[in-house]
């Protein structure tokens, strides 16, 4: 669902390298059967010291414990950092074996200078594997990513079996894009002890900020070395629909500053500075070439209002610039020149935003880059400045005369006035709206005066909606048939258009309808089906179909049992777990879905009993359903609204009850009896 067009894989990689064993890497390790040439050799003292350490009791689902972690960062200059990492895990369960796979990323600006790994078996001699036993791996690209210079060096430690200790040590030298480090000391496994040290050149200073963990004061040593230690940190066990790990894991963000006090271009002191840094990257890339100007002339010809012109440019960048990411060196962060993007007709999210900004400027409309993390919660109001973003969109300063009801994703900025957020990468969301992944999310608005962390608007729930209306007839044999019209708005429309975007065969285009019917009906036949406004993204998307379902109503003696909720499932069993929930539930976006089914009853039958209406109201959502009889007609209506995007743990019981009531309502039955039959 998410439009994962990365502003840079490199940003993500910088933030998560080392212990972060990507699934894809694990897969690669599984298929590349390179047996490490392990040699008997004593593990280093720092690992040996961990043998026999007393551990707290962990529950039976704990895969491994990080016994010891040490990250030493030595800043040599503004453009050279040396980093040494040591990690040692005790494997507790078979699922913990993957801790024996080490992956270290590198690229032309980040070189691995040493890499070793060891295993201390519970019984027997130690083993060592060296860098020559490693293999290099380029992760397969996702989505439209075409080229990246990021590689991974993989080293497999032998015998990472339960009871054994596996550990590794590596050193890298890198040219930093910014003078900042993030220490992620909380992860999936519990951590017994983790150290971080920062050695700065004499005269330099630093600022440390703590997230999701109480602040720990640094021990200041000689030689401008600062050290931090945390111990007995709980592991983060994954839960479905939980906030992004980045938003809940304990971490320290430390920015450092050269002597002298004058800001360098790669310093990140605050969001304003971060915005300046990104603004500098972008500023030279927005020259409008002659072909761009000609294109603008063509696009805006005959369009009389500024809104029409903006929409024409937005449509061009959305649809005519293909998403292709080429991220080499600083190209992972800096957009390509607008003229190149236009010439080649391709680019990634930041390229598209840059081209559109360039074109808007030519018609006198100001706009600004907004860099954002598509996982809401990764960056919040309280997050200190850091480059934890993976996407770039635009904020368009709306001219005073531009007022239109279709412009929803608008905020009033204190300095810039009305600004409209727009994602040119998302080719299926109408101009004026934003997807759920951006709503109520925090993005860095890059203005000429620096960066400003702003909250994007949350759209009304009714704008993300399925409105289903059925006119149906039931016969005496239980067969149900009739017409259904579905109107889909917002992300509900986006998801279907995305699924169908490459489907050209008409027979295949009705598969979403078949899947929908199959989810609710035991048997069915589609008599007729069509799609509405598939390509007209400024209009609501729709399914329009006629179906027939044999044996929909079930006989029970002389009664007919009919489920009034004919189609669609809104219940959710994510909370039907034995373990109590530890993290909030995150919804993709606000939503409001409605169903309305009129069912003409078979001649000779009348309603005997109806399900009781359901009216459930909580702060996070509401559900209302009702079944009524009127003459020979059964009428069912329901509405489900999700109002809050995050439901805290304290409301989990309410949420569970909410979905259980929906599940119960969906299974409720109306009872029909022969006319004149007694109770």
The contact set with other proteins (CB under 8 A) reads 60-61, 93-95, 162, 507, 511, 514-515, 517-519, 522-526, 550-551, 554-557, 559, 561, 571, 573, 576, 578, 608-612, 660, 663-664, 667-671
CA distance 210 to 252: 5
Give the Å distances, CA to CA, from 192 to 97, 181, 248, 544: 18, 22, 19, 59
Closer to other proteins by Cβ: residue 93 or 345: 93
How near is the Cβ of 632 to other proteins at its closest, in Å?
18
Alpha helices in 23-129 (DSSP H): 23-31, 45-48
Closer to other proteins by Cβ: residue 134 or 510: 510
How near is the Cβ of 50 to other proteins at its closest, in Å?
22
Closer to other proteins by Cβ: residue 101 or 300: 101
CA distance 441 to 236: 23
Q: Is the distance from CB of 25 to CB of 137 less than 8 angstroms?
A: yes
**What are the contacts of 495-501 at 24+ separation with CB within 8 A?**
495/1, 496/541, 496/543, 497/428, 497/534, 497/537, 497/541, 498/428, 500/531, 500/534, 501/428
How near is the Cβ of 656 to other proteins at its closest, in Å?
9
Closer to other proteins by Cβ: residue 283 or 523: 523
Closer to other proteins by Cβ: residue 239 or 609: 609
How near is the Cβ of 576 to other proteins at its closest, in Å?
3
CA distance 30 to 100: 12
- C-alpha angle 159-163-167 in degrees, rounded to nearest 5: 60
DSSP-based three-state secondary structure for 15:
helix
Q: Is the distance from CB of 610 to CB of 635 less than 8 angstroms?
A: no
CA distance 548 to 560: 17
- Three state DSSP letters for 277-346: HHHHHHHCCCCCCHHHHHHHHHHHCCCCCHHHHHHHHHHHHHHHCEECEEECHHHHCCCCCHHHHHHHCE
Closer to other proteins by Cβ: residue 60 or 400: 60
Closer to other proteins by Cβ: residue 92 or 392: 92
CA atoms within 13 A on the CB side of 653: 1
Closer to other proteins by Cβ: residue 297 or 612: 612
| 383 φ, ψ (degrees, to nearest 5) | -70, 130
How near is the Cβ of 676 to other proteins at its closest, in Å?
18
How near is the Cβ of 547 to other proteins at its closest, in Å?
11
Closer to other proteins by Cβ: residue 561 or 616: 561
How near is the Cβ of 572 to other proteins at its closest, in Å?
9
How near is the Cβ of 619 to other proteins at its closest, in Å?
23
Tokens of 585: 């539930």
Q: Among 590, 562, 195, which residue's Cα sits nearest to residue 376?
A: 590
How near is the Cβ of 546 to other proteins at its closest, in Å?
14
Q: Is 667 exposed, middle or buried (CB count within 10 Å of its CB: 0-12, 13-18, 19+)?
A: exposed
Residues 427-448 as b or e (16 or more Cβ within 10 Å = b): bbbbbbbbbbbbbbbbbbbbbe
Bridge partners of residue 466, in order along the sequence: 488
Closer to other proteins by Cβ: residue 231 or 573: 573
CB 57: neighbour CB atoms within 10 A?
Answer: 5
How near is the Cβ of 612 to other proteins at its closest, in Å?
7
Closer to other proteins by Cβ: residue 415 or 679: 679
CA 248 vs. chain centroid, Å, equals 14
How near is the Cβ of 565 to other proteins at its closest, in Å?
11
How near is the Cβ of 585 to other proteins at its closest, in Å?
15
Tokens of 382: 């309280």
Q: Among 159, 151, 190, 173, which residue's Cα sits nearest to residue 69?
A: 190
CA distance 571 to 586: 16
How near is the Cβ of 238 to other proteins at its closest, in Å?
14
Share in percent of the chain as helix, strand, coil (round to 5): 20, 35, 45
Closer to other proteins by Cβ: residue 142 or 508: 508
Closer to other proteins by Cβ: residue 121 or 162: 162
């Amino acid at each position: 669902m998410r439009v994962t067009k990365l502003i840079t894989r490199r940003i993500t990689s910088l933030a998560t390298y080392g212990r972060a064993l990507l699934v894809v890497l694990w897969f690669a390790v599984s298929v590349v059967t390179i047996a490490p040439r392990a040699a008997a050799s004593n593990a280093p003292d720092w690992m040996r010291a961990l043998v026999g350490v007393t551990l707290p009791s962990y529950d039976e689902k704990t895969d491994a414990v990080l016994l010891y972690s040490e990250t030493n960062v030595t800043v040599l200059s503004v453009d050279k950092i040396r980093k040494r990492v040591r990690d040692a895990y005790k494997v507790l369960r078979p699922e913990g074996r993957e801790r024996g796979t080490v992956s270290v990323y590198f690229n032309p600006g980040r070189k691995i200078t040493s890499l070793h790994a060891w295993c201390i078996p519970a019984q027997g001699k130690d083993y060592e594997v060296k860098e020559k036993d490693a293999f290099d791996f380029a992760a397969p690209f996702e989505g439209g990513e075409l080229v990246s210079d990021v590689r991974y060096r993989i080293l497999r430690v032998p015998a990472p079996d339960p009871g054994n200790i596996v550990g590794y040590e590596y050193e890298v030298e890198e040219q930093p894009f910014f003078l900042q480090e993030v220490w992620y000391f909380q992860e999936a496994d519990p951590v017994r002890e983790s150290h971080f040290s920062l050695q700065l050149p004499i005269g330099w200073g630093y600022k440390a900020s703590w997230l999701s963990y109480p602040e720990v004061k640094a021990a200041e040593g000689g030689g401008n070395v600062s050290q931090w230690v945390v111990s007995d940190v709980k592991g983060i066990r994954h839960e479905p629909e939980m906030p992004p790990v980045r938003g809940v894991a304990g971490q320290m963000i430390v920015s450092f500053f050269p002597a002298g006090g004058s800001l360098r271009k790669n310093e990140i002191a605050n969001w304003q500075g971060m915005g300046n840094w990104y603004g500098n990257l972008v500023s030279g890339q927005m020259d409008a070439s002659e072909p761009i100007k000609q294109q603008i002339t063509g696009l805006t010809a005959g369009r009389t209002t500024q809104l029409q012109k903006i929409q024409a440019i937005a449509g061009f960048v959305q649809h005519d610039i293909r998403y292709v990411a080429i991220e080499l060196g600083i190209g992972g962060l800096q957009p390509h020149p607008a003229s190149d993007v236009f010439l080649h007709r391709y680019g990634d999210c930041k390229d598209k935003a840059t081209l559109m900004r360039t074109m808007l400027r030519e018609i006198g409309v100001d706009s600004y880059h907004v860099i954002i993390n598509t996982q809401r919660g990764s960056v919040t109001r309280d997050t200190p400045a850091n480059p934890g973003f993976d996407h770039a969109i635009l904020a368009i300063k709306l001219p005073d005369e531009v007022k239109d009801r279709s412009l929803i994703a608008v905020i009033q900025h204190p300095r810039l006035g009305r600004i409209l957020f727009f994602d040119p990468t998302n080719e299926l969301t109408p101009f004026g709206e934003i997807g759920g992944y951006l709503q109520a999310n925090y993005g860095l608005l890059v203005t000429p005066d620096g960066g400003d962390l702003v909250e994007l608007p949350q759209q009304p729930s009714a704008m993300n909606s399925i409105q289903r209306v059925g006119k149906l007839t039931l016969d005496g044999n239980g067969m149900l048939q009739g017409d259904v019209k579905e109107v889909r708005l917002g992300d509900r429309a986006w998801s279907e258009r995305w699924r169908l975007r490459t489907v050209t065969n008409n027979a295949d285009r009705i598969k979403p309808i078949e899947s929908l019917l199959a989810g609710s009906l035991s048997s069915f036949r589609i008599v007729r089906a069509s799609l509405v406004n598939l390509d007209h993204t400024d209009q609501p998307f729709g399914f329009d179909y006629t179906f027939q379902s044999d044996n929909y109503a079930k006989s029970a003696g002389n009664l007919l049992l009919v489920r009034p909720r004919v189609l669609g499932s809104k219940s959710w069993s994510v909370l039907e777990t034995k373990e109590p929930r530890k993290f909030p539930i995150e919804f993709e976006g606000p939503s409001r879905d409605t169903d309305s089914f009129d069912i003409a009853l078979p001649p000779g039958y009348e309603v005997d009993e109806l399900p009781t209406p359901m009216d459930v109201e909580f702060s996070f959502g509401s559900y209302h359903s009702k079944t009524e009889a009127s003459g020979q007609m059964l009428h069912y209506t329901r509405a489900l609204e999700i109002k809050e995007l995050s439901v805290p743990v304290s409301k989990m019981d309410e949420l569970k009850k909410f979905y259980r009531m929906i599940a119960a309502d969906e299974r409720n039955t109306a009872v029909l009896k022969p006319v004149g039959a007694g109770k």
